[in-house]
Amino acid sequence: MRRLSELAVDESGVISYIDTKNRLRRRLYDLGLVPGTKVFCVAKSPLGDPKAFLVRGAVISLRCEDSEDIILE
């Protein structure tokens, strides 16, 4: 198991679960980051934070502190 924040550019994974209970979890679900979804890291900023991910045909950007809570299979 890995965290979404550990994905390098051009790597992918499948979301296993989201390990947070606050409003962020609801927002991540609204963005399509639900268990069983394939996520592909497409880019990262020059300093490494945030990273851009391809999720269900849309590219979204997440800060590393937020993507730490997303566990991949």
Distance between CA atoms of residues 2 and 70, nearest Å: 9
Query: In which domain, by residue range, is 40 found?
Result: 2-72
Confidence (pLDDT) at 69 = 87
pLDDT tens column, 30-59: 888 999 999 999 999 888 789 999 999 999
Residue 66 is part of a domain; what is its CATH number? 2.30.30.90
- pLDDT, tens digit, for every residue of 3-35? 998 999 999 999 998 888 778 888 888 888 999
Q: Angle at Cα 54 formed by Cα 53 and Cα 59, nearest 5°?
A: 80
Q: What's at 47, amino acid-wise?
A: L
Report the number of distinct structural domains present in the chain.
1
pLDDT of residue 3: 92
